Structure 1
Amino acid sequence: MKPARILIIAGSDSGGGAGIQADLKTVTLLGGFGMTAITAITAQNTLGVQAVHPIPTDMVLAQMESCISDIGVDAVKIGMIGSAQTALAVADRLEALRDVPIVFDPVMVATSGSLLADDATIAAFEKLMALATVITPNVPELQALTGQMIGNVEELEAAARLLLDRTGAILLAKGGHLPQQAEDDRPLIHDLLIDEDMTADYSVERIETRHNHGTGCTLASAVATGLGSGLSLADAVDRAEAFVAAVLAATPSLGEGHGPMGHGLGMTPFYHLLAAKDPNGWDAAAFAARHSDHA
């Protein structure tokens, strides 16, 4: 059985915590095959974004076309878009894809607070949102897209419904920025999945850590991988929420600021594969000796 082919249109995070790097880790860990159209290169670490270099629009489109024309696409995930021109051009190209789910994470600001989209780019989001199957804004993004102030779960739902009415897309509105709510002495985060007919409240326990860089990228890529694999939207979101919680709990605690999450879940898969085949475990020295002629 072939893996789901996920085209990721997003920016590169040199620190490895978010963007294309988090997307590829997520898609791979969830059994998909990730392809990329990089929209911007950032000099970035856990402390912030030091520089941004947008990729020319023609090169973004060329990357997309290379993947679409040869390998094919089962789902698309859009993150940092780079520029207004690129946003509009990407939307034009995606219009030609039929029956391919599109998950749009309207990235505006990095976890560190650094701006990743200017006003013109945010305005160009309208065309991408009109094509999206699912939009995954956090509270600040949803406020910017709707002009509504959001201070609680009820206001989160109301703002999400405004955006749903405007775009026709399903909303996965992320409540991590809302004031902490407790239930049975457990702090909870409320993410709302909203379509025309229902609201599903995904109440997940808040994991207290500063190492949460890339949560939005990871969630959106996980949803896209689920949809591309043939899961229903509800099942795709269920699995995505569980995956984000797992990688947050497995953070490697790297860096002095908002560090990356633990997409590998604390495992070294290749080592475990070798160990499973050899009950005596993997002897690194013996392996190196056997393959020294290839060094």
Structure 2
Amino acid sequence: MKAFGKTIRLFLVDGTANGLMTAELSNWTGIGVKVPRIKIKEYSNRSEFQKPGVYILIGKGENNEDAAYIGEAEIIAERLTNHIAQKDFWNEVILFGSKDKYLNKASVKYLENRLYDLALKAGRFVLNQNIPTRSELSEAEQAELEEFLANIKVLTATLGHRIFEDLEETVDRNETQQQIFFCKNGAGAESKGSPSTEGFIVYKDSIFMITEQASLSEGIRIERAQMVHDGILKIEGDLYILTKDYVFTSSSRAACATLARSASGPLEWKTAEGVQLKYYEL
């Protein structure tokens, strides 16, 4: 199905990116709001905070990993006040409500559960919560809320957090860019990946070298060590195995991490037929 363009209107309420920001889509009754934690008290009397909606608390976990809490409330301001007192990890919130009376308790419960599912599937953030229950709604109601959900997903990414976006969605699947590329050597390393809008995705079960060569940069040594610490790289015999899809900022960084040495991604990544990535990027 062809994807159509969207018009998004961002409004900085106090004229800076450090205050409250609203996000709206043309021909949509919903509205998104992003606000720092320290500004919530200042803006909590606004209408967006006094209605039913869903919200995402965003911050860092104990190991500096991206962390989030997804919730719902009939009056968002009251719930956020409780979270300020009880939850310390977050530093900003993105909330979504309706400019009319479209959302109610049942619909926001449904959205909360579905947003949790999407975030869990994407695997980009650690979720600090239990699984939310889902409301029982008619098929028609669910269809309407799935459209509302799709807009929440777009606006959350626009507001700077791809918590709901699966890595596979960042891969260009047009006719010239749907190739899978491989990076390997004679010592057992063999990774599989694809270019993406965020850099380069290396897929689960790819095999990395353990022994690092002197040419490997310090930054990639640190990233690999963090991946081992987080369980993303797991020792299997004399090699590492990748336990989940992982995005590197460039194809060269992905190749270096795989081969544990200095490497050029456009040259090292090749199709099954041996065609180098650089010929697909030109």
TM-score (norm 2): 0.28
Greater relative contact order (CA < 8 Å, ≥ 6 in sequence): 1
Structure with the largest fraction of helix: 1
Q: TM-score, normalised by structure 1?
A: 0.27
Larger Rg: 2
